[in-house]
Amino acid sequence: MNERIAQNLKDAMKSGDKFKLSVLRMLKSALQLEKINKMHDLEDAEVLAVIKKQVKLRKDSITEFEKYNKEEEINNLKKEIAILNEYLPAEMSEAEVIKIIDEVFEELKPTSMKDMGNIMKVLNTKITNADMSLVSKIVKDKLS
């Protein structure tokens, strides 16, 4: 994964794609910081976690910029997310997420919102590539 990102960084430099180059440099910096914090070379799963965190930060920023109608910033963040998503596995569809949630509900048989923590803990192990805010919303709707 690290080699792929490094190669894409070189390709962006050669092609003169300044936007993609800046996004990949930010990603490379985030990976380097994580490598320093963990004190070892990052494995692919750890690289994916860093990329997911970067995507989440940008999605949160979009939410903030929407409050102030900052269209240019929103569009730039969406482009950044698209570039970062190239390194992530395809997200699960809502139907797939709902199916897994239904299975967990059948298994745990929750009775109230107090069971939310246990449900989310199990879902975090079963759902690896989906928007967890969507998962949380679906679980809340099913519990209420």
Output the pLDDT for position 119: 94
Output the pLDDT for position 35: 96
Output the pLDDT for position 62: 96
- In tens, the pLDDT along 12-24 reads 999 999 999 999 9
Instruction: Classify the phi-psi angles of 91: left when phi > 0, otherwise alpha if psi is within -120 to 50, otherwise beta.
Output: beta
Output the pLDDT for position 87: 95
Euclidean distance between CA atoms 20 and 3, whole angstroms: 16
Q: Find all residues with CB under 8 Å of 106, minimum gap 6, and list them.
A: none
Could you give the angle at which helices 94-108 and 132-143 cross, rounded to 10 degrees?
50
Q: Find all residues with CB under 8 Å of 18, minimum gap 6, and list them.
A: none
Output the pLDDT for position 130: 85
Domains along the sequence of the chain with CATH: 2-85 (1.10.1510.10), 94-143 (1.10.10)
Q: Which residues of 90-125 are buried (b: 16+ CB within 10 A; e: fewer)?
A: eebeeeebeebbeebbeeeebeeeeeeeebeebbee
C-alpha distance across the termini of the chain, in Å: 41
* Regions of the chain with pLDDT less than 50: none
Output the pLDDT for position 132: 85
